[in-house]
Structure 1
Amino acid sequence: MMDQRELQYFLAVANHGTVSAAAAAVYVSQPAVSRRIAGLERKLGVRLFRRTASGMKLTPAGERVRELAQDLQNRQDRADGVLEAMRRGHQSFTVACPETTANFFIAPFIAGGAPIADIQPAHPGEVYARLSTGADMAVNTSAPPSHLRGHHLASAPVFVHFRSGDRLAAAGAEVELADVAREPVLLPGHGSAIGKTVRDTALAGRIDLALARTTSNGTMAQAMAAAGHGNAVTIEPAGFGLKSAFLIHRGRRLSIGLYAGWESDHYAAAELGGLATALGAWMQDRVPRLAGLAPRSPAAPSEHPASS
């Protein structure tokens, strides 16, 4: 059985690749780390690392031990969080979400007094996986997988952003996707539901998106648009001096759902459900304001064990 120091030092070497970097990360001497690793290998009777010129490489046995060690560390971190919350007398959670979602929604929600202590930025395709590595709640533009509890927060309109001199500036408040596709289109990538929605809509409508390019996120798409590389499609309001319009297809505005997900066996599952409900009500007011619309009366999205 690994003690807490062995667990910490082993993961530090596995994650940083060298004893020197691991020692710096855990604020101890290199010999102290080396002794712990050697002692752990003797205790387990297996080699955990291969010493190479470029650093410490995990053996197959080491890879397996890393999985177990990381699970133990996650459980320890979760337990520490429970005890700290009990000591303070109130809950304080960590939320994983895409960076742009953090900037436009979660950070302002925190500023209003929400019980969120930290944000873990992640690409959309990796957000829900962060629940297994320390995050309490995930907020994303795709519905959570079926093993998680889930809550539909709000629906956000999709915008097209363009420079003031672009021909789209004369189109008004709404622009058809077929018209946007005539010029280079900059879409968020890395699992973003925006890119998928736009591409699926184009495919169904037989619209050629040959000029579409994928960027790392919505902020980068807008920066590229401001530099003259095309028109950006995002759910965030315009920046960098760009103008915007709602993106429509055959007269209907495109929109993206925003969702929260959390583990059903989380120690504070009920509290996370309440937090998701509050965040959803807040978003349903904020999204129309960001879009320049009058706020709508909040609907009552239902908490659900996500099944699709």
Structure 2
Amino acid sequence: MGKRRRKLTPTQLRAYLATVRGGSLKAAAADLDVTEPAISLHIAHLRKELGDRLFARTASGLAFTPGGLRLASRAAELLGLQSRTILEVSQAASGRRLLRMAASSLFAEYAAPGLIELFAGRADDLDVELSVLNPQDFAAQLSSRAVDVALGPPPATLDSSLSCTPFLNYQMVAVVAAGHPLAGGRVGQAELRGQTWLLGPSAVGRLGMVPTVLRRLGVPESNQQIFQSHAAAVEEAKHGRGIALSVAFAVSKDLAAGVLAQVTGPSLPARGSWNVFTLRDRDAPPPAAELARFVTTPRATQAMLRGAGVTAGRFKPAIHVTLWS
């Protein structure tokens, strides 16, 4: 007799993945809006089918077996692939393609609008969905196929399943109102550390130029004010309420007009780069691979450097913006 084929259902995998992410059966039940016994039943079935305990409860949470960790990775990948397949079939039925793009908040605000408008405008059958993500989550979202391509700062370490290509260098500058006491001067680290810093959402997390500059200067959290957008932080700086960090091309007109003034000092200005991440070539969806090539072209660079760009509502293609925590 041949070996019995093991049967794993999407519902069971979804219950297991929710348990892994939530750290308990109770959290998984709340996440999926089902009862805790239902989650327990699905986990029991997986254990029986796979012949692996998967995890055990400990005082500090769940302790996973090597097989349990492998199942978590595969479950995320399979469920992501299932969702993508459903989406692709739906898109194909309507004669359209969908590119799910993730971007860091800084790139999404300043460079993504021009890039998406130009790239999506080249194809009448392409929709783009833009999700603003913490760059630390890029690898997990790409590996689980929740997104097709990601754009943002370079990672501390690169997952071997991902391809990373730098495509645009930029300069981060500190700006204040023209009448601010620090306007136009070079300031020491201690004085910079004591100022009020007006920041966009990219200040949250550890990856990217904004968190890097703040760490190098040793700016305490009590001196950091974070706004919903980088543009809002710069607007506060125009009213003399502190120092804002911005990509240089976004404030070049205000600097030239004398509305803002640049502050220099240790670690200022700073230089960073934006990178495009996809799954390795054979696994990347065709629109993602196409964008990864297109983003390095002079036309794409020109589109990204237009300045603040346009709002999502003014895009000609269908652009869906999703904010992910």
Q: TM-score range by the shorter chain?
A: 0.5 to 0.7
Identity across matched positions, percent: 22
Give 1:150 shift: 4.8
The whole-number CA distance in structure 1 between the counterparts of 2:188 and 2:243 is: 8
Give 1:40 shift: 1.9
**Structure-2 change in CA distance of 1:123 and 1:245 (3 Å):** farther
The whole-number CA distance in structure 2 between the counterparts of 1:128 and 1:18 is: 24
- 2:154 aligns to what? 142
User: In the alignment, does 2:176 pair up with 1:162?
Assistant: yes
- 1:234 aligns to what? 246
Kindly provide the CA deviation profile for residues 153-190 of structure 1, in whole angstroms up to 9, marking residues without a partner as x: 43333221224542233x2xxx6xx5464533758461
Give the secondary structure class of the aligned counterpart of 1:92. Answer: strand
Amino acid at match of 2:130: I
Number of residue pairs the alignment of both structures matches? 272
**Structure-2 change in CA distance of 1:180 and 1:120 (3 Å):** farther
Q: Answer whether contact 1:159 1:233 (CA < 8 A) is retained.
A: yes
Q: Could you tell me which of 43, 52, 57 is aligned with 1:46?
A: 52
The whole-number CA distance in structure 1 between the counterparts of 2:29 and 2:168 is: 45
Kindly provide the CA deviation profile for residues 225-275 of structure 1, in whole angstroms up to 9, marking residues without a partner as x: 85989633332746xx996445778xx975433222212335555432433
- 1:123 aligns to what? 134
After the TM superposition, which residues 200-279 of structure 1 pair with which residues of structure 2 at under 5 Å, given as runs? 212=219, 223=233, 231-235=243-247, 237=250, 244-245=260-261, 255-267=271-283, 269-276=285-292, 278-279=294-295
After the TM superposition, which residues 13-162 of structure 1 pair with which residues of structure 2 at under 5 Å, given as runs? 13-51=19-57, 57-60=62-65, 61-106=67-112, 110=116, 114=120, 115=126, 117-134=128-145, 135-142=147-154, 145=158, 148-162=162-176
The whole-number CA distance in structure 2 between the counterparts of 1:132 and 1:84 is: 22
- 1:183 aligns to what? 192
**Structure-2 change in CA distance of 1:127 and 1:193 (3 Å):** farther
Task: Give unpaired runs (5+ residues) of structure 2.
Answer: 1-5, 121-125, 310-325
TM-score by length of 1: 0.64
Kindly provide the CA deviation profile for residues 83-132 of structure 1, in whole angstroms up to 9, marking residues without a partner as x: 34433433212222212322333356557783454334333344345321
Amino acid at match of 1:33: I
Kindly provide the CA deviation profile for residues 51-106 of structure 1, in whole angstroms up to 9, marking residues without a partner as x: 5799x724325334323323333343444444344334332122222123223333
Give 1:217 shift: 7.6
Task: Give unpaired runs (5+ residues) of structure 1.
Answer: 200-208, 292-308
Structure ranking higher on relative contact order (CA contacts 8 Å, 6+ apart):
2
The whole-number CA distance in structure 2 between the counterparts of 1:211 and 1:26 is: 42
Give 1:139 shift: 0.5
Q: Answer whether contact 1:153 1:259 (CA < 8 A) is retained.
A: yes
Give the secondary structure class of the aligned counterpart of 2:109. Answer: helix
TM-score by length of 2: 0.62
Q: CA RMSD in A?
A: 4.6
**Structure-2 change in CA distance of 1:217 and 1:140 (3 Å):** farther
Q: Answer whether contact 2:175 2:243 (CA < 8 A) is retained.
A: yes
- 1:9 aligns to what? 15
The more displaced of 91-100 and 183-192 is 183-192
The whole-number CA distance in structure 1 between the counterparts of 2:262 and 2:289 is: 32
**Structure-2 change in CA distance of 1:158 and 1:80 (3 Å):** same
